Structure 1
């Protein structure tokens, strides 16, 4: 034990000593990563970047990981402005909008994202693996108290945003569709992106124009949620009666955590996980064929949830889906964020969206969902402080990354399972609701 401790100290000391050489970006040492970036730049300059999947992935993975790393290490940005996720999206949009990235690679990425289903591939893995990876007991127990609190809070927030929208001349429908729903959709990859496709399908407009109106609410809402979580945690110290200090329920219930079983890497299981994810996505598309008013993504989430609760899927296939999900999440999340910035985010539309009315509506959503979740959470036997942070603010964050940021700001990372569950279930409801409301309110 002492020897291991000494070795770890030596390794840490060597890293601090080496500095530049020991820095890693997504598992690659910085010098080698810079060589890869240089190769990419030379290929682009010589117009020798391969087309199709290979060229698109080269741009998205290399630039995405670089931007994600930078965003997670910028002092103020990483703590208060959404970190790597937000920086990656906007940095990618900037190099695309202002011509820093030439038109050739941009067109390759746009084709890959819009015509080859790259985002569908990512979202299918995300939804299937994340839900099947949760403990069944978590879904069952938390549904009694936590889920009603989250849903009531979301409904109150939606209505309040709509009413305030009427008062400030922004309109009920526009406020709900383009501010409230994207803030509560559970992030960008599994929230704003499918929501934009739902809107695009209903309105007959390009998803690139719509997502540029959705991402501002998701990103700005995430920033406000992080700040609010830190403030609530600090204020909660003065009210011990309402503060669980990380425990969400007042009773001495068993700690509910996500299933953290170690999965041994198996290349065959990764392939099986791919098939499971694709099958669920196709099944959602089949249901969407019969009920086009409800999006395929929404059907997919519902089907996976039902299969998890009823234990229809054997443990082996659940493990495969979880393993494949981890592979995709770990290696392609920055690439997806980069793809959104390059192919889907229109900065001109975004700038037009950022008005004083928009700021007021985002603040309305944050304040309403916090107050209602705290009050209703107390009625359901939850600690108000924890309820405000998980059932409230985490449902106004950018999915998994946003949850980590919100809970880190509040020093309550032990509640990540509840935050994730609220995002997944709440996000599913938002997608279903969005597919209905876009036809009624637009």
Structure 2
């Protein structure tokens, strides 16, 4: 009988011993470069898992990149885009003469593009799981009780970051609307999977620009904003003293601390008990909420045709209302959370490979990057921190902790960015609050994005 891999202690890739992963990867890559990789979903998934896992590991182990530039996620996106840009992945280069990259008659890029576009089916599938599971997986007290004080701090971060980016954009000749929509908006959106990716779809649905163009322009901003947020968290936590620094406590009164909002051991035990039926129910409920978002969007468009709000936004609002009002049974909430975890842990790198190949044009990225771009990213992050710190102080928070959680944890790259920012600030006990910023705050940005694009999109 073959030995189990459960007790393996060495390097693992895609949660497999690296030797096992290497064998299966060799099979996939051999099929790819012999031109016999299966068509459709099977071949696409196999190739993207191999490439995504390898690039993710490189990013998570490379100094500076792993600490300040988003780690594996950024390397997967840009690495995949580079492989496509330099024609290192088999694809059809000339439809009329049947000219293929490297002479291999396999249009893998075309297959992956069909999988991701034009409907964006896989993106929608991923985002539906992410939104539904992440919101329903939050502690209800954290969502309901903290909202009265915490959300004003988030809005303070959003308003000032947008204002500074817009003013600087006007002064530096980049443009107010362009600075807000293409730099401040994605930086404050909560990373790639829950931020820039759905935002790009919203851009496309509004007719402002294609999703490809939006991703190519926004991705550098997300990466730079993440790096700046981590550095600022470390610096400000050491520089700010006295009444500005709560030394890890968010609220001055002490009547609501992070422990009150943690997931109970009983709930955690239920979450950890996963079975395939739970995953199936989570899939169904997530997709149903997504369909509901489209129903509401249709009726909204009929009633208010001048203001377009994307189905993502309506889904977010609907799920949040159901969570706060305790409408969804607990077991179904757990099912959705488990499905979200399954998708996030197993298919995030796959999604990022698709984004890099199908949506990120390196030529556009290179053309958009400049000193002006860097300054606008820096001012967006400064605005996020100062705006959250100022409003946080008014509602009874310590400014440093408010600026870090409600500000910089809005401007970083989601969950991994939260860990990096709080680690740099030595404030890991504030993780429950940072999750509000990444999950609910990021969702608010999608709603704001829908509204702004319906009003200002034609001015880009």
Global fold match (TM > 0.5): yes
Whether contact under 8 Å (1:133, 1:318) holds in the other structure is: yes
1:109 aligns with 2:97: no
Q: Which residue of 1 aligns with 2:381?
A: 366
Alpha-carbon distance in structure 2 between the residues aligned to 1:240 and 1:337: 43
Deviations 1:212-245 (CA, angstroms, capped at 9, x unpaired): 1111111111111111111112223xx1432222
Match of 1:223 among 223, 227, 231: 227
Match of 2:434 among 396, 419, 435: 419
Whether contact under 8 Å (2:29, 2:47) holds in the other structure is: no
Question: Which structure has more helix as a fraction of its residues?
Answer: 1
Greater shift, 298-307 or 26-35, is seen at: 26-35
Whether contact under 8 Å (2:167, 2:176) holds in the other structure is: yes
Q: Which residue of 2 aligns with 1:235?
A: 239
Q: Which residue of 2 aligns with 1:98?
A: 86
Alpha-carbon distance in structure 1 between the residues aligned to 2:242 and 2:14: 41
RMSD: 1.7
Give the C-alpha shift of residue 369 in structure 1. 1.6
1:157 aligns with 2:161: yes
Match runs of 1:206-285 below 5 Å: 206-236=210-240, 239-253=241-255, 254=257, 255-259=259-263, 261-262=268-269, 263=271, 264-285=273-294
Q: Which residue of 1 aligns with 2:131?
A: 127
Alpha-carbon distance in structure 2 between the residues aligned to 1:166 and 1:330: 41
Whether contact under 8 Å (1:59, 1:105) holds in the other structure is: no
Deviations 1:175-220 (CA, angstroms, capped at 9, x unpaired): 1110111111111111111111111121264311221111111111
Alpha-carbon distance in structure 1 between the residues aligned to 2:239 and 2:407: 16
Deviations 1:336-361 (CA, angstroms, capped at 9, x unpaired): 11111111111111111111221111
Whether contact under 8 Å (1:71, 1:87) holds in the other structure is: yes
Give the C-alpha shift of residue 330 in structure 1. 1.0
Q: Which residue of 2 aligns with 1:45?
A: 33
Query: What SS does structure 2 have at the residue aligned with 1:50?
Result: coil
Q: Which residue of 2 aligns with 1:60?
A: 48
Alpha-carbon distance in structure 2 between the residues aligned to 1:437 and 1:42: 47
Alpha-carbon distance in structure 2 between the residues aligned to 1:204 and 1:411: 41
> What is the number of equivalent residue pairs in this alignment?
423
Q: Which residue of 2 aligns with 1:79?
A: 67
Alpha-carbon distance in structure 2 between the residues aligned to 1:334 and 1:408: 23
Match of 1:166 among 167, 170, 174: 170
- Runs of 4+ with deviation above 4 angstroms: none
Q: Which residue of 1 aligns with 2:352?
A: 337
Query: What SS does structure 1 have at the residue aligned with 2:126?
Result: helix
Match runs of 1:1-12 below 5 Å: none
Q: Which residue of 2 aligns with 1:325?
A: 340
Q: Which residue of 1 aligns with 2:396?
A: 381
Alpha-carbon distance in structure 2 between the residues aligned to 1:44 and 1:284: 38
Whether contact under 8 Å (1:85, 1:401) holds in the other structure is: no
Query: What SS does structure 2 have at the residue aligned with 1:302?
Result: helix
Alpha-carbon distance in structure 2 between the residues aligned to 1:105 and 1:415: 44
Q: Which residue of 2 aligns with 1:288?
A: 297
Deviations 1:56-81 (CA, angstroms, capped at 9, x unpaired): 11122121122111111112211122
Structure 1: where are the runs of 5+ without partners?
Answer: 1-10, 16-21
Normalising by the residue count of structure 1, what TM-score does the alignment of the two structures yield?
0.92
Alpha-carbon distance in structure 1 between the residues aligned to 2:74 and 2:262: 26
Give the C-alpha shift of residue 256 in structure 1. 3.4
Deviations 1:290-333 (CA, angstroms, capped at 9, x unpaired): 22400011111000000000111011110110111111111111
Alpha-carbon distance in structure 1 between the residues aligned to 2:309 and 2:409: 25
Alpha-carbon distance in structure 2 between the residues aligned to 1:59 and 1:291: 40
Whether contact under 8 Å (2:234, 2:424) holds in the other structure is: yes
Give the C-alpha shift of residue 116 in structure 1. 5.7
